[in-house]
């Protein structure tokens, strides 16, 4: 397919970053700094500061970050973990694989956890609550924290899609005990492969995670307990550290693009678009994605594809309707409806204004709005 607008444009991204990244990659390899070296420590320090967290622990990916947290908190059979079914499977799988029972709250109009429903789902067995800051937008954390405090549950934030988002001036990922981030290449901050991090203000937890990610080791030879191999590669850390310095500019560009979509699409009665970047002064969304909804979703996807526009459906099937997960007893009507209606339009900082206009013109033509 000859795309005019890619959903994510890795070749263009590399074209723009090559000159700056090549010496970093060359230098790191030439020095032999491949595992747990200064580049990783620098990245962790810069990442923690970027997010106003005390500590950052680099890990192999976000899923492994959640896995280490599930282990550190000793989550197991009899524990309930409450989250949403409109998320990636990785939000909950590390907890289920340790024997915990997944519990789901339905979502609200902004595609995020409905905190009123969260209050109805918690019990005395609720050990962990995982709000998911999907699409670059922060869940209403004041409510989540209140509910968690009522039942004595720990809050872990899945901030895989929300690095740098804020609500009421506070950064996503700093409300709970810890938060996890994905640096999968398509993310706001992407590596050239898999990578992730856990952020926390709790020094003991951070030290525990440092040991757990490296086979339980404390020094070169001393082993403190059972552990995993979930280290973040030093080369990826070097790349991520350079990219982190560019992130504020890239987030601003995403917000500009969202503004442009908003201007071009807000008047279409049969299309619902995200809350605009300037519409809610409490929030600063970072637009990992630009999800729109319509009853004519499948026809719109076909129409856009024919116009050379690559879109993504996240996700066509909610978790509780996936076969093989034993979750079919759940009924979450708003999650199910969203999965029939949602599609994400292209959103990445390399997009040119004309490409947003091309997408918007195509969407308008589909709805007969010219």
Q: Report the largest interatomic distance among the alpha carbons of the chain, rounded to a whole angstrom.
A: 68
3 state SS of 21 = helix
Question: How far is residue 228's CA from residue 48's CA, in Å, rounded to a whole number?
Answer: 23
Pick one of 184, 287, 315, 366: the residue that binds ligand PLP (CB under 6 A). 184
Print the binding letters for residues 205-244 with ligand PLP: x by CB under 6 A, - otherwise. Answer: ----------------------------------------
The minimum distance between CB 30 and ligand PLP, in angstroms, equals 28
Question: How far is residue 56's CA from residue 328's CA, in Å, rounded to a whole number?
Answer: 37
Name which of 62 and 238 has its Cβ closer to ligand PLP.
Answer: 62
**What is the separation, in whole angstroms, between the first and last Cα of the chain?**
25
Q: Is 90 in the site for ligand PLP (CB under 6 A)?
A: yes
The minimum distance between CB 90 and ligand PLP, in angstroms, equals 4
Q: Is 138 in the site for ligand PLP (CB under 6 A)?
A: no
Q: Is 61 in the site for ligand PLP (CB under 6 A)?
A: yes
Name which of 176 and 196 has its Cβ closer to ligand PLP.
Answer: 196
> What is the phi/psi pair of residue 225, to 5°?
175, 180
Q: Is 135 in the site for ligand PLP (CB under 6 A)?
A: no
- Residue 104's nearest CA partner among 321, 285, 274 is 321
The minimum distance between CB 162 and ligand PLP, in angstroms, equals 9
Q: Is 9 in the site for ligand PLP (CB under 6 A)?
A: no
Q: Give the pair of three-digit tokens for residue 106.
A: 């339905």
Q: Is 173 in the site for ligand PLP (CB under 6 A)?
A: no
Question: How far is residue 336's CA from residue 271's CA, in Å, rounded to a whole number?
Answer: 18
360: part of which helix (H) or strand (E)? Answer: helix 353-366
Question: How far is residue 348's CA from residue 320's CA, in Å, rounded to a whole number?
Answer: 30
Pick one of 161, 174, 289, 355: the residue that binds ligand PLP (CB under 6 A). 161
Residues making contact with ligand PLP (CB under 6 A): 61-63, 87-88, 90-91, 132, 158, 160-161, 182, 184, 196
């Amino acid at each position: 397919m000859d795309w005019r607008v890619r959903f994510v444009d890795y070749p263009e991204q590399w074209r723009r970053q090559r000159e700056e990244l090549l010496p970093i990659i060359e230098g790191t390899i030439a020095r032999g700094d491949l595992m747990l070296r200064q580049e990783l420590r620098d990245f962790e320090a810069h990442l923690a500061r970027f997010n106003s967290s005390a500590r950052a622990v680099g890990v192999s990916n976000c899923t492994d970050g959640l896995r280490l947290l599930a282990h550190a908190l000793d989550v197991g059979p009899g524990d309930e973990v409450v989250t949403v079914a409109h998320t990636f499977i990785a939000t909950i799988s590390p907890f289920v694989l340790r024997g915990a029972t997944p519990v789901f709250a339905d979502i609200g109009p902004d595609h995020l956890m409905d905190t009123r429903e969260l209050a109805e789902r918690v019990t005395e067995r609720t050990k962990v609550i995982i709000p998911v800051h999907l699409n670059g937008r922060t869940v209403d954390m004041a409510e989540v924290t209140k509910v968690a405090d009522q039942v004595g549950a720990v809050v872990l934030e899945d901030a895989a899609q929300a690095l740098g988002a804020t609500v009421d001036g506070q950064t996503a990922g700093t409300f709970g005990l810890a938060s996890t981030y994905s640096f999968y290449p398509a993310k706001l901050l992407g590596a050239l492969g898999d990578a992730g991090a856990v952020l926390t203000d709790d020094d003991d937890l951070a030290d525990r995670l440092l040991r757990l990610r490296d086979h339980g080791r404390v020094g070169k030879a001393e082993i403190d307990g059972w552990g995993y191999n979930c280290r973040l590669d030093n080369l990826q850390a070097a790349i991520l550290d350079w990219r982190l310095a560019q992130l504020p500019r890239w987030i601003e560009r995403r917000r500009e693009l969202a503004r442009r979509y908003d201007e071009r699409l807000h008047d279409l009665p049969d299309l619902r678009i995200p809350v605009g970047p300037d519409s809610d002064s409490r929030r600063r969304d970072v637009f990992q994605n630009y999800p729109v909804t319509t009853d004519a979703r499948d026809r719109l996807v076909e129409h856009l594809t024919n116009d050379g526009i690559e879109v993504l459906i996240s996700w066509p099937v909610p978790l509780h309707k996936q076969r093989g997960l034993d979750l079919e007893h759940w009924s979450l009507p708003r999650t199910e409806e969203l999965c029939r209606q949602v599609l994400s339009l292209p959103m990445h900082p390399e997009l040119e204004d004309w490409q947003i206009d091309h997408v918007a013109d195509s969407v308008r033509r589909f709805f007969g709005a010219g």
